[in-house]
Amino acid sequence: MENEKQVKVRYFAVLREKSSQSEEVVTTAATTYRELFVELQKNYNFPLDDTQIKVAVNDAFSDLDQAIQGGEEIIFIPPVAGG
């Protein structure tokens, strides 16, 4: 598809467990980080929805509704429980 972009996605905690990998390069037609997360959630059956995660792009927190440019490193951050 001509509107697809490649991004590197890194996974932590439950997202790493469900995807069985720590990172991957994803080709996606998603236009926002939220759309990308929903796409990955369906692929890997993540137990969290898009209201429960935060996103960091190129080592800085970002908004889930920010547009994907292509070439970014994206980290979806699940809730972390402290003790």
Distance CA 72, CA 82 (A): 29
* Structural tokens at position 14: 């439950």
CATH fold of the domain at 5-77: Ubiquitin-like (UB roll) (3.10.20)
pLDDT of residue 31 exceeding 80: yes
pTM (predicted TM-score): 0.92
Whole-number percent of the chain with pLDDT over 70? 94
pLDDT reported for residue 80 = 78
Question: What residues does each domain of the chain span?
Answer: 5-77
Taking residue 24's Cβ as centre, other Cβ atoms within 10 Å add up to 12
The answer to whether residues 53 and 61 touch, using CB atoms and an 8 Å cutoff, is no
